[in-house]
Structure 1
Amino acid sequence: MAASGELSKAPARTPLISPVTLLRIVLVLALLAIWELLSRSGWLYRDVVPSLIAIGKALIGLLSSGEYYSNLGVTAAEIAAALAIGGGGGIVVGLLLGGNRFLSRAFEIYLYYLGPTPKIIFFPVMIMWFGVGSGSKVALGALSCFFPVALSVAAGMRQIDKVLIRVGRSFRADTRQMITKIYLPAMRHPIINGVRLGLGIALIGTLLAETKLSNQGIGFLIINAYSTFDMPRMYANLIVLFALAIGANVVVGRLGGLHTIRR
């Protein structure tokens, strides 16, 4: 009886792979198997769905090419500049709209109406204003990411505990101190979420601009591979881009987590 009691008290073993992780792995493997079956079936036009081996070879060739990294650097610089300009502007506007009811009622409606508008329609204007170089791509990316960041920050401002605001005012904190000591620390999650969403939209806007008018950048490489019907190279570019986007998203999310731990 004592032995059976000891056995019942033994801690349960933690599985090496959680059920959620296992399900994700199975889903990815199933998608890869379906892709390979479509590639070998001949149901689609030639090379529209290339084999995984062909995509793997193209991926190795892509990552071993110095030209690819130079184009990647161009796109990364454009996205970083777009996020800094559009995201920074969105944070400032969000703070103003969220902290001032009059400004919110007067101007926030424009953000809701213009936010869902496809920003690519403004690209001809950006070309006229900033030329055909990187400036127009940065401008389109900044315009794309401005709206989600501004709306997220404005909504976060309204969710700040009123007690914190009253405490800051009771200590006679000026506007700068209220922003740096009260608003921004209390809004780290809305800001991080807005930046993550803005990063994705800035990425889309910048790449779309590169596919329309450019001779460098990842968007140019993708549209060039498509134009020459080099499908394995096109999919290889998309895979790398997808992996980099996920990595950047994880980094931004971890920065918010580190800030929380430090506090």
Structure 2
Amino acid sequence: MPGQALRRGCLSIAGGLLLWEILTRLLLENELLIPPPTSVLRSLWKLTLSGELNRHLSATLFEFVCGFSTACIVGILLGYLMGRYRWFDDLMDPWIATLYSIPVIAFVPFIIIWFGIGLFSKIIVVFKITAVAIMLNTAAGIKTIDPVWLELSNSLRLSPWETTYKIRLPAALPYIITGMRLGVGRALLGVIVAELMAANAGLGYLLRDASETWDSPKLFVAVVLLAAMGVGSFILIRKGEQKLAPWRETAEW
């Protein structure tokens, strides 16, 4: 049951935090290596009171949402066209291979030179690292549709548009959702890499500042917040899947 699973998850997290606190207090004298959870909470509270946390978290959230949303829209659209038309797939294939093979760490300096350190450069980095997974999964979903369903649409005399939103997209939805799940982690990675290299706000900037000042609790605050963003995004995608494809509600996460 969902409620029971939630309770087990909360107990697991609470037990892990308690074990973390005990081990760090007993075995480590220097909090620089691994700070206990209570020190991390104190650092989180200080950042919240100073307003610094809100500034960094809101910057990263906005960049993440803008970049990930753009990657989803463009990735699904191009992936659909790749799945539907062989000639378009052939045209896109070398560009996707090139885009996918360039490490994001090598891509960021060019983006900074061309577009500066503002929001637009972060969106491009997130798009670059996220869109390919969504695009390829969407194309795979469109290509693997059961021909029987397409024959059914012909029998019902559905228009091409009706066939798209009643047959093709629902059939490809599991692939699209998989691409979005893969894209969440990639999008967070893209935002943090861009902020680490050139930014004046954001969790990546907070990570860099904490590492330069040897502030381990602040480092852990940034890492925990990034993990929370990732988990929250996964939950939202799962909820969206339940709304769009209720017949898959009993499928495993």
TM-score normalised per structure 1: 0.81
**d(CA) in 2 for partners of 1:21 and 1:110?**
46
- CA offset digits 1:149-193 (Å, max 9, x no partner): 011111111222212222334455444333222221222222122
- Structure-2 separation of matches of 1:193 and 1:82: 18
- When the two chains are superposed, the root-mean-square deviation of aligned CA atoms in Å is 3.0
The answer to whether the aligner puts 1:188 opposite 2:173 as a matched pair is yes
Cα separation, 2, equivalents of 1:106 and 1:215: 39
Counterpart pick for 1:225 among 183, 194, 210: 210
Question: Structure 2 residue aligned with 1:129, among 114, 130, 133?
Answer: 114
**Aligned residues with identical type, % of pairs:** 28
Tell me the distance in 2 between the aligned counterparts of 1:257 and 1:23. Answer: 21
> Distance between the aligned counterparts of 2:14 and 2:90, measured in 1?
47
5+ unaligned residues in a row in structure 1: which ranges?
A: 1-13
Match for residue 195 of structure 2 among 210, 216, 231: 210
Q: What residue in structure 2 maps to residue 97 of structure 1?
A: 82
Q: How many residues are matched?
A: 247
Amino acid corresponding to residue 146 of structure 1 in structure 2: A
Amino acid at match of 1:229: W
| 1:248 counterpart = 2:253 | no
Of the structure 1 ranges 202-211 and 178-187, higher mean CA displacement relative to structure 2 is found in: 178-187
Residue 148 (structure 1) shift: 0.6
Structure 2's unaligned 5+ residue stretches are 249-253
* Equivalent in the alignment of 2:19: 33
1:72 aligns to 2:57 (yes or no): yes
Match of 1:177 among 129, 152, 162: 162
Amino acid at match of 1:104: D
Match of 2:73 in 1: 88
Distance 2:48 2:158 in 1: 53
| Counterpart position of 1:9 | none
TM-score, normalisation: structure 2: 0.84
Deviations 1:36-95 (Å, cap 9, x if unpaired)?
A: 42454248x651211222112112223444332132222111111111222211111211
Structure 1 window deviating more from structure 2 (116-125 vs 247-256): it is 116-125
